[in-house]
Structure formats: structure tokens, C-alpha cells
Amino acid sequence: MSQAPDSPDLAPLRRQDHAAFEALVRNHHRPMLAVARAIVGDSLAEEVVQEAWVSVYRNLPGFEGRSSLKTWLFSIVSNQAKTRLRKEKRVIAFDDLSVPDTGVDYLDSGRFHAGNGHWKTPPPGWHLDSPDQLLEQSQLQHCIDHTLKVLPPQQRAVFLLRDIEQQELAAICNILEVTESYVRVLLHRARLKLMQVIDRYQETGEC
Amino acid sequence: MLKCKDIAHEASDYVEHHQHWWRRLLFRLHLFLCANCRRFVRHLRLTRQFIRRRGAPASPQEVEQVLSQVESRHGGSTGAQ
Ligand SMILES: [Zn+2]
């Protein structure tokens, strides 16, 4: 699995170097797509993000680096998506919180004793308990990919932006036009879902 | 005194230092006394580190699709080889 990239060298990107651009796409396409999906929904997201990449490519020579490259990429796709949404005059209502959250049973009250709030089912122990050990498990990678795919759109976008792209909460609020408290709720839910995927994997070796 | 249930709900705010200092203190006191919650918070941190390191790279097909779209819009190949 490839490393999450930090800050790539800007010079080759400004020259629109093929390999550098390809790496940029590989490393940021998924989160860009997640942003588009969270704003315009599944059916238009693909088109919006393709459009965004064309615009990124065209504007790279003039990128001055006043914001970070990632922030710039996300603002392009976010603006593209918002413009598209206005054009379509459609309101896409996302209400991730109303989606029944099966699989976040760390937040279920059934997991705790009603009276004292102690764990009724405590978190299980992990025999693989370092990032290196987890990274070696290819079946686990597959399970994580699958889970990311089925997260509700806003949850997925918030999670990728924060935990993979390391964007500030305030930046995420701007990109997705949501409040910070909402971002924090979505983020926590997404993390716990992934944690449970790891719980299950440690126990059964499967998703 | 916080309950394990509170810890489960607020653990992200704790690991990202988004709590009021007083709440954080209560949180730490609970962790000091509760091995289950220490494990919970440790697993949450580990999950983040692991996911951060693995990233979310696009598939070769996705990359190819973007590149060909960009190329077709620019009437040539992308940049110098
Ligand atoms: Zn506890």
C-alpha cells in the first residue's frame, strides 16, 4: 500500500510533468471524489471531479503555493461541485444522522450497563497492535476499502479529509459547508466504524 | 465522574484535544481507573495511525480515466515525459 503523501515537490507539477501529475491524481482522486459526492450526490460526482482535474491541470503552472496544495485541490472540487449544484437547481438533502447507523455499536446504549454506564461488552483485545502489523494484512485492507465505500457520503468525505488528508476542521467546514460540531460527530462515527472492522478482523480474520 | 459510555462518545474529541480542560481532566481520571477505556482510546489512536499511513490511493483505472480526460481536453499529452 502506498503512503499517504505529504507535500509533493511543486516544481514538476507547475511544469505539468506527466509523472508528477499522475501521482497527484493517484493520491488525491478518492478524497476529491468524496468531496464531490458529499456536495452533489453520486450521480453527478464523477463528472464534477473530472472537470475539477481538468481545471487543476490547467491552473497548476500558476499555482503560487499561498495555500497548501491539498487545500487548493479541495477548494477547486468544492467550488466546482457547488456551482454545479446551483446550475442543476437541485437540493440534495443529506442527513447522515438519520441514516440508521448499523455497525456503530460502540455508541449503542446496549453496549453499556444501564445504571452505571460501564462497559457491558468491553472492546476486545487486539493481537495485531501496531500500524505496521495492521498494514501487512491484505485482507484487512480490502475490508477497510469496502467500509470506506459504504460509508454515508458526508461521513466518508469528512473522514478522508481529516484522517487521511489532515485538513483542519475549519477547512473541512468550508469545503463541505457544514458546521464544526456536525463534522466532529461524523468523524467520530466513521472512526468507530473502522475500528469495529479491525475488531472483527482481529477476531475472525474476515470483514 | 464520567462513565465508560461518555468515554466512548467523546474519545475523538479527547485524542484531538477538543475538550474544555476540565472535561479533559475528568476524562484522564476515568482512563487512569479504567483499563477497558484505556484500551478503547488506544485502539482509536491506532486506527487513525494505521489509516493515515495506508492512505486512500485511487485505482489504476481511476487514474487512467482522469489522465485521458485531461489529455482530450488539452489536445495533446500531459506535459513533458
Ligand atoms: Zn471506562
pLDDT interval class at A43 (50, 70, 90): confident
Domain holding B20, by residue range, is 4-73
Is residue B78, in this structure, part of any structural domain at all?
A: no
Q: What is the pLDDT of residue A2?
A: 44
Q: What is the pLDDT of residue A4?
A: 42
Q: What is the mean pLDDT of residues A157-177?
A: 94
- Chain A partners of B55 at a C-beta cutoff of 8 Å? 1-5, 27, 164
Distance B40 CA to ligand 1 centre (A): 9
Q: What is the model's pTM?
A: 0.87
Residue range B42-64, pLDDT digits in tens: 999 999 999 999 888 899 999 99
pLDDT at A163 over 50: yes
- Chain B partners of A141 at a C-beta cutoff of 8 Å? 54
Domains and CATH numbers, chain A: 10-88 (1.10.1740.10), 105-204 (1.10.10)
Residue range A150-159, pLDDT digits in tens: 999 999 999 9
The answer to whether B48 and A190 are in contact (CB under 8 A) is no
Cα A45 to Cα A114: distance, rounded to the nearest angstrom? 43
Per DSSP, the three-state class of A27 is helix
pLDDT at A131 over 80: yes
Of the partner residues A122, A130, A192, the one whose CB lies closest to the CB of residue B36? A122
Cα separations in angstroms, A75 against A20, A125, A174, A175: 20, 41, 9, 6
Q: What is the mean pLDDT of residues A116-138?
A: 94
CB contact under 8 A, A164 and B55: yes
CB contact under 8 A, A164 and B66: no
Phi, psi (deg, nearest 5) at residue A119: -60, 130
Is residue B43, in this structure, part of any structural domain at all?
A: yes
The answer to whether A73 and A32 are in contact (CB under 8 A) is yes
Q: What is the pLDDT of residue A64?
A: 87
Is residue B81, in this structure, part of any structural domain at all?
A: no
Q: What is the nearest CA distance from A174 to chain B, expressed in angstroms?
A: 19
Give the dihedral of Cα atoms A172, A85, A72, A31; nearest 10 deg.
60
pLDDT at A161 over 50: yes
Residue that wins the pLDDT comparison between A181 and B81 = A181
Residue range B7-56, pLDDT digits in tens: 999 999 999 999 999 999 999 999 999 999 999 999 999 999 999 998 88
Distance B59 CA to ligand 1 centre (A): 41
pLDDT interval class at A99 (50, 70, 90): low
Q: What is the pLDDT of residue B25?
A: 97
Q: What is the nearest CA distance from A147 to chain B, expressed in angstroms?
A: 12
Q: What is the pLDDT of residue A93?
A: 59
For residue A124, how many other CB atoms are within 10 A of its CB? 14
Is residue B79, in this structure, part of any structural domain at all?
A: no
On whether any CB of chain A is under 8 Å from the CB of B66, the answer is: yes
Dihedral angle sign, alpha carbons of residues A11, A14, A20, A24: positive
Q: What is the mean pLDDT of residues A37-59?
A: 93
Q: Which amino acid is at A52?
A: A
Residue range A14-36, pLDDT digits in tens: 999 999 999 999 999 999 999 99
Q: Name the domain count of chain B.
A: 1
Q: What is the nearest CA distance from B23 to chain A, expressed in angstroms?
A: 17
Residue range A69-85, pLDDT digits in tens: 999 999 999 999 999 98
Q: What is the pLDDT of residue A97?
A: 47
pLDDT at A98 over 60: no
Is residue B10, in this structure, part of any structural domain at all?
A: yes
Q: What share of chain A in percent tops pLDDT 90?
A: 76
